[in-house]
Amino acid sequence: MALLAVATVQVLAWALVMPPFQGPDEMAHFAYVQHLAETGEAPEQTGGGGANVSSEQAEAIRWENLHALVGVIGMRPGWTEAEERRWREVEATLSDEASANGDGPNAVGQNPPLYYALETIPYHVAPGGSFFNRFYMTRLGSAAIYVAAVAFMWLIASELFRPLWARTLATAIVALQPKLAMLGAAINADILLVLAWTAFIYAGLRIVRRGPSVRRLVGAGVATAASVLTHGRGLAILGALLVLLVIAYLRWRPAPREALRGATLSLGIAGIGLAVVALFTSGVSGGGTVYGGEIGRIGEKAFDVRELLSYVWQFYLPKLDFMQPTIGVQNYGFREVYIQSFYGDFASLEVEYPRFVTDLLEVATVLLLFALYTVTVTRLDAVKRHWPTIAFLLLTGLSLLVLLHVTAYNSMLTNPADPLFTGRYLLPLVSILAIGVTVVVTALPPRLAAIATGGLVATGVVLSLSGLGIAFVRFYA
Amino acid sequence: MRSSPRTLAALAAGLGLLIGCVAWFVPYLTRERDDVTSVPVPAPFFAEERVALAPGSEACLSDVAFDTDSEIVELTALAGRRPLPRLAVAGEAPGYRATAVIEGGYVPPSALHAAIDPPERSVIGTLCIANRGRRRVALLGTTDPRTVVARSTTQIDGEEVVPDISVRFLAASGGSVIDRAGQMVDRAAAFKPGLFGAPALLWLVLLLVAFGVPAAAVYSMLSSFRESD
């Protein structure tokens, strides 16, 4: 409960401190929510009447001076009474149509509608009817999703770790992940992806550790459907579901008919999700391709497996002599994605931790990988005993990483300037990070484990407070 | 006597928080900073643009917010071969007029500061910069899509021009975040309706973050060790 309170307070603070539309792509995501809430239809990705946001949103942005604020560190939002007064005067003159005319083009119009449909609930229950009331209530909708993801992390930790302190540590790592708290406060479908994956990992762990039951299989299927109904990146969960079913079969060896029934149940629910996506896709612009062509955009330039492998190698490791320079942005890889923008780069990426923090986090992450390797080789018996759990977690993570790299590579074939891979795309795997850290700490001698736990919780607190503090100063000093 | 895991965890957490406070938070929060009171048009994000102002010409920015502590207008002159001409700066809004002069002779590129009297209550109006010298001056402007979307637009001698002049307002004296915490909370409360915009709520949430989050996180960790003992 204390950690849920920690998560709630943090996300509430981010929701109030970060000015409107400063979260990643928040203008487009809110425009989607608003158009769906007001008209029952998603905005067009490439078509529409030319209004990528509603007139009401555009006026709010104008009078709080929010457009030039996005990603521009020297800009400040409007905060004078005169601007606020002028906005109220303008708002009073707006017709109902002004809330409903943002029909596109909308840069996130290709996204399936689940997240946005959920967000129409807080949008509609906002008291008073003012634009900013609806906006902040919608942010609180995201915040509730974030808190639910932290709660699922507690369930995962309870499933995996016996000592209460280890469960607490694993949950604290997620609750104190600063970027996740910021994302929870923004209007962005990625936070529902985090919840869907965390819930899927929980259901999957229950299946591989305790055996498949109808409830667990339905849980895994629902989480899978939620993921594919949330974002194109959510498709990666299909690979994870297949892996889960195979591991569950190998581990529990059910009778063929029972196995078929279980697989049909999970895959059937996931299939319903996919069918809804296909139905949705057929009705939106973007060429009628799945997710508006964002995923699986192959064929615009030759897809070269060697080039892809070279890109992936150079993403993580130094270029070898025989390799060509990587496609896309040079010197953009592990540090920028797994460290810098995974823990930091808040708002629209412009609110950064100082360099020494990124350096320390990078060292800590590399140490964690070495520590995990050491734990693996020194406890091979335990690894063999728990192979279904370990394989499930590793392959689930891998399924997302493969999709992210292939999609990024595809995208760079047409636009090399945009690596299309940033740290928040990894947040659906934050529970696996927390498990990894906790496994290492529990492998330490008890006294050392206690010290490490205290140090990690303190580090999480310091990172969370400083991220929020830097953002507060960036916007209002 | 050997310390219990709980005690060791408490010591490690306490030490970590202490290091964070002493090495990072305190210097960060007590550092003197400019007090930016309003930014009509920010400096360009990608490439700087020159906005040339001929002798006798006047550039005006529309929809500029003048706050009650907007005491300094800051412009940037771009590099030229000769010293700057004299510039006259005027802020105008219903019930408000303030003027100032930036004496010529500086060697650009340089930030130009003009002290103006702020309004008694915030107003939205026009900021004009007139070239009173005999030479042209090139001011920093922007056309890039990230920054040109600010509310204010620029006209020169009544004609709208594409690069907007980058300008911001400062208070005469800055201060640290600690000194100005109340002002920053008030700024954060702007445009938030009802309960969302109550400064008391913001204060409560920020205090809960500053003290409640560390306390609750450490408490939950220590409780978990107690139950494991």
Instruction: State mean pLDDT over A264-293.
Output: 79
Smallest Cα distance from A5 to chain B, Å: 8
Instruction: State mean pLDDT over B163-175.
Output: 96
The pairing of strands B49-53 and B137-142 is antiparallel
Q: Which of A203-207, A327-331, B105-109 has the lowest mean pLDDT?
A: B105-109
Q: Determine which of B92, B148, B213 to mutate to test the interface with A (most A C-beta atoms within 10 Å).
A: B213
Number of residues that this document lists for chain B? 229
A135 to chain B: closest CA residue = B192
Q: Which CATH number fits domain B36-170: 1.10.10, 3.30.160, 2.20.25, 2.60.120?
A: 2.60.120
Instruction: State mean pLDDT over A392-404.
Output: 98
Q: Does A127 touch chain B (CB under 8 A)?
A: yes
Smallest Cα distance from A165 to chain B, Å: 5
Q: Domain spans of chain B? A: 13-33+176-228, 36-170
Q: CA B224: distance to chain centroid? A: 44
DSSP A362-389: HHHHHHHHHHHHHHHHHTHHHHHHTHHH
pLDDT exceeds cutoff 50 at B142: yes
Order of strands across the sheet that contains B159-160 = B96-102, B87-93, B123-131, B58-66, B154-156, B159-160
Q: Model confidence over A177-224: pLDDT tens digits?
A: 999 999 999 999 999 999 999 999 999 999 999 999 999 999 999 999
Q: Does A162 touch chain B (CB under 8 A)?
A: no
Q: Does A91 touch chain B (CB under 8 A)?
A: no
Beta-carbon separation of B39 and A74 below 8 A: yes
B170 to chain A: closest CA residue = A477
Output the pLDDT for position A290.
Answer: 53
Q: CA A117: distance to chain centroid? A: 18
Q: What residues of B are in contact with residue A84 (Cβ under 8 Å)?
A: 190-191
What is the distance between the alpha carbons of residues A389 and A205, in angstroms, rounded to a whole number? Answer: 6
Output the pLDDT for position A128.
Answer: 82
Which backbone phi and psi does A414 adopt, to 5 degrees? -105, -30
Smallest Cα distance from B26 to chain A, Å: 11
Q: What is the pTM of this model?
A: 0.94
> CB of A174 within 8 A of CB of A149?
yes
Output the pLDDT for position B55.
Answer: 96
Beta-carbon separation of B190 and A477 below 8 A: no
pLDDT exceeds cutoff 70 at A284: no
Beta-carbon separation of B213 and A133 below 8 A: no
Q: Residue B156 in 3-state DSSP? A: strand
Structure tokens of A436? 């990894």
Confidence of residue A301 (pLDDT cuts 50, 70, 90): low
pLDDT exceeds cutoff 80 at A294: no
Task: Give me the percent of chain B exceeding a pLDDT of 70.
Answer: 98
What is the distance between the alpha carbons of residues A198 and A193, in angstroms, rounded to a whole number? Answer: 8
Beta-carbon separation of B219 and A476 below 8 A: no
pLDDT exceeds cutoff 60 at A380: yes
Beta-carbon separation of B122 and A65 below 8 A: no
pLDDT exceeds cutoff 80 at A69: yes
Of A3, A12, A77, the CB nearest to B205: A12
Beta-carbon separation of A9 and B25 below 8 A: no
Confidence of residue B145 (pLDDT cuts 50, 70, 90): confident
Structure tokens of A21? 């539309």
Smallest Cα distance from A173 to chain B, Å: 10
Work out how many domains chain A is built from and give that number: 1
Smallest Cα distance from B136 to chain A, Å: 27
What is the distance between the alpha carbons of residues B219 and A457, in angstroms, rounded to a whole number? Answer: 11
Structure tokens of A453? 């736990």
Q: Model confidence over A84-118: pLDDT tens digits?
A: 999 999 999 999 999 999 999 999 999 999 999 99
Task: Give me the percent of chain A exceeding a pLDDT of 90.
Answer: 91
> CB of A300 within 8 A of CB of A413?
yes
Smallest Cα distance from A469 to chain B, Å: 9
Which ranges in A253-304 belong to alpha helices (H)?
Answer: 256-282
Q: Model confidence over A20-39: pLDDT tens digits?
A: 999 999 999 999 999 999 99
Confidence of residue B3 (pLDDT cuts 50, 70, 90): confident
DSSP A376-429: HHHTHHHHHHTHHHHHHHHHHHHHHHHHHHHHHHHHHHH-TT-----GGGGGGG
Of B9, B146, B217, the CB nearest to A461: B217
Beta-carbon separation of B188 and A460 below 8 A: no
Of A83, A169, A477, the CB nearest to B36: A477
Give the range of the structural domain holding residue A276, as residue numbers without chain letter.
2-476
Output the pLDDT for position B122.
Answer: 97
Beta-carbon separation of B209 and A473 below 8 A: no
pLDDT exceeds cutoff 90 at A298: no
Chains A and B form CB pairs within 8 A to the count of 249
Closest CA to A345 of A190, A174, A467: A467
Q: What residues of A are in contact with residue B193 (Cβ under 8 Å)?
A: 128, 130, 132-133, 136
> Positive or negative CA dihedral for A218, A220, A221, A222?
positive
Output the pLDDT for position B75.
Answer: 96
Q: Which of A32-36, A124-128, A227-231, B225-229 has the lowest mean pLDDT?
A: B225-229
Output the pLDDT for position A291.
Answer: 64
Smallest Cα distance from B9 to chain A, Å: 4
Of B16, B150, B214, the CB nearest to A68: B150
Output the pLDDT for position A288.
Answer: 45
* A 47-76 near B (Cβ less than 8 A): 60, 62-65, 67-68, 70-72, 74-76
DSSP A220-246: HHHHHHHHHTT-GGGGHHHHHHHHHHH
What is the distance between the alpha carbons of residues A152 and A94, in angstroms, rounded to a whole number? Answer: 42
Kindly indicate whether the ipTM for this predicted assembly is greater than 0.90, answering yes or no: yes
Confidence of residue B69 (pLDDT cuts 50, 70, 90): very high
> CB of A437 within 8 A of CB of A314?
no
pLDDT exceeds cutoff 90 at B127: yes
Beta-carbon separation of A2 and B217 below 8 A: yes
Task: Find the farthest-apart pair of alpha carbons in chain B and give their distance in angstroms, rounded.
Answer: 85
Output the pLDDT for position A286.
Answer: 47
Block residue for tokens 């969370």: A464
B93 to chain A: closest CA residue = A82
Smallest Cα distance from B56 to chain A, Å: 30
Output the pLDDT for position B82.
Answer: 82
Q: Does A78 touch chain B (CB under 8 A)?
A: yes
Closest CA to B223 of A379, A2, A443, A356: A2
Smallest Cα distance from A391 to chain B, Å: 29
The pairing of strands B72-77 and B36-41 is unpaired
Q: Does A417 touch chain B (CB under 8 A)?
A: no
